[in-house]
Amino acid sequence: MKILIKDPIILDDKGGKFETYRANILIEGNKIADIFEQPTAEQLTDVDEVIEASRLVALPGLINTHNHSPMSLLRSFSDDLRLMEWLDKKMLPAEAKMNKEDIYWGSLLAIAEMIKSGTTAYADMYIHMEQIAQAVKDSGIRASLTRGLVFFNDDDGQRLREGIDLVKNWSGEAEGRITTMMGPHAPYTCPPDQLKEVMDISQDLQVPIHIHLAETHEEVEKINKKYGKSPAQYLYDLGLFNGDYHVLLAHAVHLDDTDIRLLENMKGGVAHNPFSNMKLGCGIAPVYKYIEKGITVGLGTDGAGSATSLDLFKEMKMASGLQKLDRFDPAVIDAHKILQMATLNGAKILGIDQQVGKIEVGKQADLILVNVNQPHLVPHHDMASLLVYSAFGQDVETTIVNGKILMKNRELLTIDEERLLYEVQQRSKRIVEGV
């Protein structure tokens, strides 16, 4: 497949500062083959599709670094509750009623929403991951998949086997769009012996680790009471941050300056989930401190059960606003840093930055086209600021992943949206009934 994106405004990351220029983008197969001002006859030979893009901005696809996709079935089911009440009385009982087919359709719903709001790759942690992997394969999105591992009770090693099987069976599948990680859920659900075993497995299989960290005050208190240390110190003492492991830390809300210093040699980074943290009353992650220490920070949504929507454009606004408010300083973080968090930084945290994260010749063709010819998106003084502070997911007109058009003119091309909406409406009713 050969696609020509004709004359878009390209938003290019120049070392953390985004600049704009007009050019044509040629996609061949799954890669960006060329970027040029005036096409030659040779470049136009055998072009299968031309996308007229003079009123559109091309930017790298957004990357959601933390999600629980099937929780889309529980969107707005249990809002305005404290975290443990929300989890114990609503989420867990409803999730227990989900079957494998529900997991598939719930994850496909999340994927459809992400594609329609400009996300081209995401990190997922859940159960029945083979169903989610199938949804990823069918839809065309890119994903890093993780079987969440909780060690509250003895299951004779079943969860761990499922995590290993996911890595062995799905790594590199779906034309290379699927990568995998090992997923110990959190310090408070993973005792030291089991967590160390998962770390050893990740080394043997050569995959990263995806783990929640210090999302709530309650977690910090629980770990301190049990081990006499903070959650970050707990993981540090096990060796997780010594540079041998590539780590995705979800949330990292409650870390003090001593904790943050422990992360400085870590490979990977922090998945910041601003709206979920805000909506559940968890707190504000010290993102500006992470950035000051050179720690990579990406953006995530968390599951739609808490985040309500999976629109990373919304998360960019929340991430910026929360840091400014927390420091009483509007200059503490600028729009360019926020946009980098949503693109290249996300790719780094997922370990796929050699393939995606920038619009660059030789990179895989994961990019989006945003319609900026609308009243709320003119004039065009600073395009990065405009997109971060003024744009929303519905402004994305076209989404391309791995050289394949997944959405064009707001129409999904790989997902039957009408059937999807019917399926999830029926399934969600059954799941929440009586909960």
Domain residues of the chain, as ranges? 2-60+363-412, 62-350
What pLDDT is attached to residue 83?
A: 76
Give the tens place of pLDDT for each residue, 367-419: 999 999 999 999 999 999 999 999 999 999 999 999 999 999 999 999 999 99
Question: Strand (E) positions, 133-202?
Answer: 142-149, 178-184
User: What one-character DSSP code corresponds to residue 157?
Assistant: T
What pLDDT is attached to residue 153?
A: 80
Radius of gyration of the chain, Cα coordinates, nearest whole angstrom:
21
Give the tens place of pLDDT for each residue, 345-366: 999 999 999 999 999 999 999 9
User: What one-character DSSP code corresponds to residue 132?
Assistant: H
Helices (runs of H) and strands (runs of E) counted in the chain: 18, 19
Q: Rounded CA gap, 355 and 334, in Å?
A: 26
- State the CB neighbour count (10 A cutoff) for residue 44: 13
**What CATH number is given for 62-350 in this structure?**
3.20.20.140
Give the tens place of pLDDT for each residue, 207-256: 999 999 999 999 999 999 999 999 999 999 999 999 999 999 999 999 99
Whether 2-60+363-412 shares its CATH topology with 62-350 is answered: no
223 by Cβ neighbours in 10 Å (0-12 / 13-18 / 19+) ranks as buried
User: What one-character DSSP code corresponds to residue 67?
Assistant: E
- pLDDT > 70: percent of the chain: 100
Which residue's entry shows tokens 């009483």?
328
**What CATH number is given for 2-60+363-412 in this structure?**
2.30.40.10
228 φ, ψ to 5°? 70, 30
At 167, which amino acid appears? V
Question: To 5 degrees, how large is the angle CA 69–CA 71–CA 77?
Answer: 150
| Ranges of residues in the chain whose predicted pLDDT is under 70 | none
> Residue 37 corresponds to which tokens in the numbers above?
């001002």
User: What one-character DSSP code corresponds to residue 28?
Assistant: E
User: What one-character DSSP code corresponds to residue 147?
Assistant: E
